Structure 1
Amino acid sequence: MPAPTKNERQKCWDARDNFWNCLTENNDNESKCTEFKKVFEAQCTKQWAKYFMRRRSYLQYEDKLKTEGFKPADEKPKKKS
C-alpha cells in the first residue's frame, strides 16, 4: 500500500476535523454524525481512522484530567461533617 499523497492526507484530516466537530457539537452522539463518519472513513485509511479515534479518546481523557483532576477508582467519597 503506497503512502498517501499530500492531497489525500489533507482530505483525510479535513474529514476527521468535520467528524470530530460534529461529535463535539452533538455530545458524542454518532447517530447524528453518520454522514461525516462515512466521509471520514472513506477519506482515511482504516489504520489512520482507528488511530484518530483513539487519539480523540485520549485527548478527551487528558482534558478531563486537567479540568477535574485525577480521581482514583477505589477512592470512597468523603463524608461531609
Structure 2
Amino acid sequence: MSKLKSNEEIQQDRDIPMRSDRAKCWASRDAFFACLSDHGIGIFDQKAVSKTPCFELYKEMDGNCLPSWTTHFILRRQRELEKEAFTKMADQRVRTGQSPAVPTPNYDRPIKNVTVTRSSS
C-alpha cells in the first residue's frame, strides 16, 4: 500500500506555491507597488527598474513570486493605470462639454518592455 504524501512532498513534486508562499508573494507585490505609487512611478520600463528607489522591493517580489506571476502583476498594474488615465480623460471631456468619445485603449496589444528575469541571489 502506498503512503500518502505530505503537503511539502506534493509541493516539491510540483512547482505549485503553498498558501504561505502565495501570501509572501502577495505581500512583497503590495510593498513594491506601494513604493512605486509613493514615488509617483506609473508605467515603467522593467529594464530601468534597477534605477528606481524600489529596486530592492522588486528583487524581493521577484524572489517570492513565480516569474509568470511577476509578469502578470506588473501587466495588470499597468493596465489599471491606463484605464484610470482613460477614465480621467473621458470625465474631463464631459466636464468641458465635449463628447466623452476618446480613443479606446487597445487592451489586446502587448505592453512593450515587460520582460521578467530572475534576479541572481
Q: Normalised by the shorter chain, which TM-score bucket?
A: 0.7 to 0.9
Aligned mates of 2:72, 2:27 — CA distance in 1: 15
Q: Which among 37, 40, 54 is matched to residue 58 of structure 2?
A: 37
Q: Which residue of 2 aligns with 1:76?
A: none
Q: Which residue of 2 aligns with 1:13?
A: 26
Aligned mates of 1:35, 1:2 — CA distance in 2: 25
Amino acid at match of 1:22: C
SS at match of 1:12: helix
Q: Which among 63, 73, 87 is matched to residue 52 of structure 1?
A: 73
1:8-30 Cα offsets, whole Å, 9 max, x none, are 00000000000000001112174
- In the TM superposition, residue 62 of structure 1 has moved relative to its aligned partner by 1.1
Q: Which residue of 2 aligns with 1:66?
A: 87
In the alignment, structure 1 segments of 5+ residues that lack a partner are 74-81
Q: Which residue of 2 aligns with 1:79?
A: none
What is the TM-score normalised by the length of structure 1? 0.80
SS at match of 2:79: helix
For the pair 1:25 / 2:56, whether they are aligned, the reply is no
In the alignment, structure 2 segments of 5+ residues that lack a partner are 1-13, 91-100, 105-121
Query: Which structure ranks higher in relative contact order (CA pairs < 8 Å, sequence separation ≥ 6)?
Result: 2
1:43-77 Cα offsets, whole Å, 9 max, x none, are 0010000000000001101111221126339xxxx
SS at match of 1:32: coil
Percentage of pairs with the same residue: 26
SS at match of 2:75: helix
Q: How large is the Cα RMSD of the aligned pairs?
A: 1.8
